[in-house]
Amino acid sequence: MAASLSSISLGLAGGLMIGCAAAAMLLLLGRIAGVSGLAARAFRLADPGSTVIATAFVIGLPAGAALAKRAGAPFEASFPSIIYLVIGGLLVGLGARLGSGCTSGHGVCGVSRLSKRSLVATGVFMATGVLTVAALRAAGVGP
C-alpha cells in the first residue's frame, strides 16, 4: 500500500518535532531525551533528580498522539491481542535496561552524536526487530 502525502507529511512533522525536542533537551538541559530513562525518572525508578521534565515528557507522548488523532491524523493502533502488547512492552523495557537505553536514546540522540555504543545498539535493535517480524510472520502472527 502506497503512503499518502498526508501520512508522509505527518511522519516528517513528527520526526522534526522529535529531533527538535531531543536537541532542545541536550542543548538547554544537558540531558539525553531517551524515553526509557525519562519514564524511569518520571515513575521514580531511577535517577532521583527532578521529575518535572520527565513527567511532562511521558505525559506528552500519549497526549500528543491523542491530539493528532482528534485532529484527524490518519493512523490507528492494532495488535493481535492484549497479551502480545503486554509481552512486547515487558520485553522492550527489559531490552532498554539491558542495552542501557532505548531506541530513542540510542537511535535518535546517540547516533546523532556518533556514539559508537549507540551505533552498535541501534544496529542490534534494528536486526532484532527484523528477525522478530520474520519469526512472527513465519508463525502466522500479524499482517
What are the DSSP calls for 71-116, one per residue? TT-S-----S-HHHHHHHHHHHHHHHHHTTS-HIIIIIIIHHTT-H
Q: What is the pLDDT of residue 135?
A: 94
Centroid of chain to Cα 87: 16
The C-alpha cell at 116 is 559508537
Over 90: is that where the pLDDT of 130 sits? yes
Split at pLDDT 50, 70, 90, the class of 1 is very low
Question: Is the pTM here over 0.85, yes or no?
Answer: no
Residue range 34-52: average pLDDT? 80
Over 60: is that where the pLDDT of 88 sits? yes
Instruction: Encode pLDDT of 98-126 as tens digits.
Output: 878 887 788 888 888 888 998 998 898 88
